[in-house]
Amino acid sequence: MAGRLRKLLEEESEHQWLAIGIFFLFAILGGVAIEGTSTLAGVDMGAGEAEHDGSRVLDIVYFDNGVDVASQLTHTHIPSAGHYLFSQTNENVDMIYEPSGFDKGDEIRFINEMSDNRAILSLASTQLVEITLGEQPTYRNVITNDQFWIDDYQENEGPESAMMVTQESDGSSSIRALSDYVASPPLANSNLVNWNNIVHLSQEKWVATGTITNTQSSGDSPASPSVRSAIGIIEWQGNLSIAPVLTSFSIGDEGQIHNVFSTGNSQVIIAANTGAYQVEDDGSINEIDISSQSAVTDSQGKTWFIGHQGTTSIATFYNEIIEIEELAEPIPLEIEISEYESGMIFMHGMDANGAFEMMTLDTTVQHSIEDGRGFLNFAFLTFFSIVLLVMGWTVLERYRKY
């Protein structure tokens, strides 16, 4: 047996140099192909059959129902006409509000998605509007003895436990708890913060963000004090006779907070144009060195940070790890609104010519066979599996001859 193996190894193949040349050619072409497929896949432009195509989208909520046109509740603005609010399921459009005389559409301060294909917004003092996909709006009057506007609203799994940011009758900003649309007294110790948004953190804890005017900084002129981001942790035990309590308060850098959301694992991500913050359940706040124009979090808890028009990459943050995903082309829009639903990131903004457009990113194709890199991996494994099988068969046949 040893003699047979030695004789087999000593035999020289007349095609060996051809085989080596083909191998090097394959390696070079493979390197070029890998470099060409190293950019983020699944990016597309255009709103398709969506009713908001060509309009400026001020706010939007996408719902998951697996149809050709993503189900959505949309607030748009047309300069020559005014504000419109409509829902769309596939190609069916239901107009909820359109301007007639005095345009109240500019009083829509937020639209937030809730569970069970619901969305909540506010148009009037101490009133919430609940819109369920395919149904007529329901107007929920908040039970209270006070007068205030609602600037933001979020639930913890349902209206039994909710929190809202309010603009009080004296012009101050505050936070109130809500249970089945009955309001608590306002937060007392607001630290002169102009609160903007609130999201659920865990159990009885919530995270509120806003801005605070800093007149004490040594580098600020008294005539033009700096405006810094404010982050507060709010606790409420469920007693409507007791106001929520601000248990922790931090002042961040100068800059504008544009997105605040829960990742679903007792963490809250705060994204701003100068950086980002991660708020933990224990109250700790960690800085993330990523600036962005807009941001979303997907169903896995990964946060996608989207930069300004012309940016050539998108940063992601997951499990304390920052990754930079390169784009095949620079971002063509100045993003104003971004949302995530069912594996898709929808980005709405304005292009260099002043036209309003939508850009989408399908996160489900990353590292799949539809992705260029995924296809190369599949082709590599398939090709070399065949090669190894043929080589093994050839070696076995030649060994038998000796």
Question: Model confidence over 28-44: pLDDT tens digits?
Answer: 555 544 444 455 677 88
**Would the CA dihedral through 30, 31, 32, 35 be positive or negative?**
positive
User: pLDDT by residue for the chain (402 residues), tens digit each?
Assistant: 555 544 544 455 544 555 555 555 555 555 544 444 455 677 889 888 889 999 999 999 998 766 667 789 999 998 888 999 999 987 789 898 888 877 888 889 899 999 888 899 998 899 999 998 878 899 999 999 999 999 999 999 889 999 999 999 988 899 999 999 999 999 987 668 899 999 999 888 999 999 988 655 555 555 667 788 999 999 998 899 999 999 999 988 888 899 999 987 889 999 999 999 999 998 899 999 999 999 999 988 999 999 999 999 999 999 899 999 888 889 999 999 999 998 899 999 999 999 999 999 988 876 544 545 555 555 566 665 665 566 666 666 666 666
* 346 found inside a domain: no
Longest distance between any two alpha carbons in the chain, whole Å: 101
The first and second tokens of residue 193, run together, are 């913060």
**Is 202 in contact with 266 (CB distance < 8 Å)?**
yes
Residue numbers of the domain that contains 385: 2-32+381-401
The first and second tokens of residue 253, run together, are 């850098």
pLDDT for 241: 93
Number of other residues whose CB lies within 10 A of the CB of residue 364: 13
* 48 found inside a domain: no
Angle at 366 (CA atoms; ends 362, 371), nearest 5 degrees: 100
pLDDT for 5: 46
- Classify the phi-psi angles of 66: left when phi > 0, otherwise alpha if psi is within -120 to 50, otherwise beta: left
Closest CA to 260 of 232, 234, 296: 296
Instruction: Provide the CA 352 distance to its chain's centre, in angstroms.
Output: 23
Q: What's the pTM? A: 0.79
pLDDT for 227: 84
* 210 found inside a domain: no
Sheet holding 344-350, edge to edge: 43-45, 356-362, 344-350, 334-341
Give residues with Cβ within 8 angstroms of 226, minimum separation 6.
213, 214, 217, 219, 220, 254
pLDDT for 32: 47
Residue whose entry in the numeric block shows the structure tokens 């979303």: 296
pLDDT for 161: 92
**Is 242 in contact with 272 (CB distance < 8 Å)?**
no
Question: Could you give the count of Cα atoms lying within 13 Å of 95 in the half-sphere of its Cβ?
Answer: 7
* 26 found inside a domain: yes
Give the whole-angstrom CA distance, residue 209 versus residue 249: 10
DSSP string, 288-319: E----SEEEE-TTS-EEEE--TT--EEEEEET
Question: Could you give the count of Cα atoms lying within 13 Å of 86 in the half-sphere of its Cβ?
Answer: 20
**Is 64 in contact with 351 (CB distance < 8 Å)?**
no
Number of domains in the chain: 1
pLDDT for 178: 95
pLDDT for 36: 47
